[in-house]
Amino acid sequence: MKEDRKMKFTKIFLVIAASVGIMSCNIGMLDTESTYQVGSSNVWGKASLARLAVNGIYNEFYERSSTTSNEDNWRVMFEAYSSVMDTDRNWYENQKVCYGDGTPSSGTFSSMFKYYYTFVFRSNDVISHIDQVPDMEPEEKARLKAEAKFLRAYGYFNLNVLWRGVPLYLEYIEDAGTANKPRSSEADVWQAIINDLTDCINEENLPDRYAAGDGNYGRVTKGAAYAYRGHAYQFMASRLNDTKYYELALSDFEQIEKLGYKLYTGAGANSFKELLKPANEQCEEMIFSIQCVEFSGMGNPRAMLFGNRGTYTGDKGAWNNYIPNPGFVESFENADGSKFNWEDHFEGWNSMTPKQRSVFFLRNNMTDAEKQTMLNYGADMTRYDNLHNEENIRKAYADRDPRLMMSVITPYSQYDGGISGNAYTFTLRWPYRSEGSSYRDLRTDTNSMYYYLWRKYVPEGLDHTMTWLYRQDNILCRYAEVLLRRAECLNELGRTDEAVTLVNMVRTRAGHVTLNNEAYPATAVKDQADMRERIRNEFYWELGGEDSMYFNELRWGIWVEKKFQKNTNGLKQVWGEPTYTWYSLGDYVETWPIPAKEREMNSSLTQNPGWID
């Protein structure tokens, strides 16, 4: 394993890291001029330096993941903006579209704007100059230009989702003072994205995919271009209200299967869980991912941010800054495909307050002092079963879609972690007593509250020894997501039966009951509207925690409803008691404000409706 990591690092990332020293781009919307320590003209005069310039675009993926930046306050996963999960109380004020005090002057918006335009301007530099390199073969120039076009499209894709129309810069800008274009329409930006991705797909020197172990693994491929173009078409179908784009998206998603991508099934019944382990990070399901290694600035921080104090990171433990929302956990179906209902497990649940319900989550054989504390808190201790309380609550999670317990650490389930150089198996109990040998309770960074915790992206045993530097790749797109996107397109085009087949492929891999299974009446699909809801649920259950659902909720037009409704509004303990709640300023927060700083520098930029500078 160490040798594999060394190979991945030396073949790909050493040059990316080195490019930071060669090319320093401090790029904002108007701060567009690249400054090369060796001189810009010299970069394009030598192939080795030109390659580093291309790698410098890829390096931006690590900038967003870095925890050493002084802009750390805005580095919140998009998934935390969705209804899937929330941040702990220490971070939640940074989510300005949810917290209720966001303005165009908020640093979150300006930092994100600058971040994605950095992809654009670095890419423009490469696209405009790569053909000048004298000692580089035409085939390599064509491939690197295609990679830069994809990465430019990636930057504009994110900008257009969040701001719905931004200035289009498709050429390198020598003088930053000339970057004063007005905003292009959302439709025009989508078309520019489509054009770039189409160029990638048509470039014969861009490979379909890279095999595991290839020194170029992690670079742009035709598979990634098809996936993102199809996703862009889906946004166009939704936002431009034109179903023809579903046909185009479907065609792109179908092409991906022909390129050799497929679902990972190598771990049998545990394949869904094992998919997100370092051993399988280059399996045939992965379409595009950020290549992470145990090297400063290039690790996957989700091990720390998703993990808990039992996650072994030297002797420190992880932080569980991102916490699954109880509404997301409760959405997972029963094993027979029927909807989960707490009343089926605890009669009277719906008439109880969240504090009263906490009684069902208490450990067996509580001390008198513990019982009194919970009584004072508000638990209905008349419902406490001293000998079987743990068994009763475990049943509520055991007979469910298997992806639930493979994604989330639920009450009284076990987690294999480690402390002080030793591997231990912990159990998530309440009230917390001790992680010592007598109990091995799972300790968290928020130990006075009882939250759900993530399993996704969280190392087990002694696998993770370096704070912030977990080697698991950060997945941006995988084949299961493409299958669900294909299913969505088919259903929107009235081909619901075909959509069922694709969804069933994803459910079968997870070990869940298939749709339209005659033995399970709850799985029967009624019509197109019913299937639409089922497909959206599959996105949550398959991809929750993977930084996909915020953009999906925006695309479906349900984000405000999902994020601010009672069932999912804010951080909650497992029984539903809020730690904090979000505050919506209005539906207009679905679109982010043009940063005030950018409007000061470029008077032609108009503000999005609802936002006041």
Nearest by Cα to 228 from 147, 157, 122, 145: 157
- One domain, residues 568 and 443: no
Beta carbons within 8 Å of 176's beta carbon, 6+ residues apart: 30, 31, 32, 33
Q: How far apart are CA 577 and CA 302, in angstroms?
A: 26
DSSP, res 85:
E
Domains in the chain: how many in total?
3
Sign, CA dihedral 97-101-103-109, equals negative
Nearest by Cα to 127 from 115, 107, 143, 103: 143
- One domain, residues 128 and 252: yes
Residue 412 lies in a domain: yes
- One domain, residues 49 and 195: yes
Q: How many residues does the chain have?
A: 613
Sign, CA dihedral 342-348-354-359, equals negative
Q: How far apart are CA 472 and CA 304, in angstroms?
A: 12
Please, are residues 219 and 207 in contact by the beta-carbon 8 Å criterion?
no
Residue 599 lies in a domain: no
Specify the amino acid at residue 594: I
Specify the amino acid at residue 139: E
- One domain, residues 280 and 135: yes
Nearest by Cα to 589 from 603, 565, 610: 610
Q: What pLDDT was estimated at residue 34?
A: 41
What is the per-residue pLDDT across 462-514, written as a single tens digit (0 to 9) for each?
A: 998 888 889 999 999 999 999 999 999 999 999 999 999 999 999 999 999 99
> How confident is the chain (613 residues) per 10-residue block, as mean pLDDT?
41 39 42 43 91 95 56 64 94 88 93 94 96 97 98 98 98 85 98 98 98 97 98 97 97 98 98 96 98 89 93 88 97 98 98 98 98 98 98 98 98 96 95 87 94 97 88 96 98 98 98 98 98 98 97 98 93 97 93 96 96 91
Residue whose pair of structure tokens reads 């410098």 in the numeric block = 56
Q: How far apart are CA 93 and CA 368, in angstroms?
A: 38
CA-angle at 251, arms to 249 and 257, nearest 5°: 110
Reading the block at residue 274, the tokens are 């094992």
What's the longest Cα–Cα distance across the chain? 82
Nearest by Cα to 516 from 332, 334, 337, 263: 337
- Taking phi over 0 as left and psi of -120 to 50 as alpha, with beta for the rest, 268 belongs to left
Q: What pLDDT was estimated at residue 41?
A: 63
Q: How far apart are CA 282 and CA 165, in angstroms?
A: 35
Q: What pLDDT was estimated at residue 23?
A: 43
CA-angle at 350, arms to 346 and 356, nearest 5°: 75
Please, are residues 283 and 266 in contact by the beta-carbon 8 Å criterion?
yes
Cα–Cα distances (Å) from 448 to 414, 443, 444, 445, 607, in that order, read: 19, 10, 9, 9, 43
Residue 46 lies in a domain: yes
| Rounded (10°) angle between helices 138-163 and 47-58 | 20
Tell me how crowded residue 604 is: count the other CB atoms within 10 A of its CB.
10
- One domain, residues 114 and 191: yes
Residue 605 lies in a domain: no
Nearest by Cα to 536 from 244, 248, 234, 307: 234
Q: What pLDDT was estimated at residue 211?
A: 97
DSSP, res 296:
T
- One domain, residues 356 and 260: no
- One domain, residues 335 and 405: yes
- One domain, residues 423 and 550: no
- One domain, residues 515 and 430: no
Specify the amino acid at residue 396: A
Residue 339 lies in a domain: yes
Q: How far apart are CA 249 and CA 228, in angstroms?
A: 9
Domain span including residue 519: 475-572
Reading the block at residue 156, the tokens are 């504009």
Nearest by Cα to 534 from 554, 555, 513: 513
Please, are residues 164 and 610 in contact by the beta-carbon 8 Å criterion?
no
- One domain, residues 119 and 184: yes
Q: Which helix (H) or strand (E) holds 35?
A: strand 35-36
Residue 613 lies in a domain: no
Q: How far apart are CA 197 and CA 184, in angstroms?
A: 19
Q: How far apart are CA 172 and CA 127, in angstroms?
A: 8
Secondary structure tally for the chain: helices H, strands E: 24, 10
Would you call 121 helix, strand, or coil by DSSP? helix
Please, are residues 491 and 528 in contact by the beta-carbon 8 Å criterion?
yes
Q: How far apart are CA 275 and CA 511, in angstroms?
A: 14
Residue 265 lies in a domain: yes
- One domain, residues 392 and 444: yes
- One domain, residues 236 and 130: yes
Residue 587 lies in a domain: no
Q: How far apart are CA 146 and CA 123, in angstroms?
A: 10
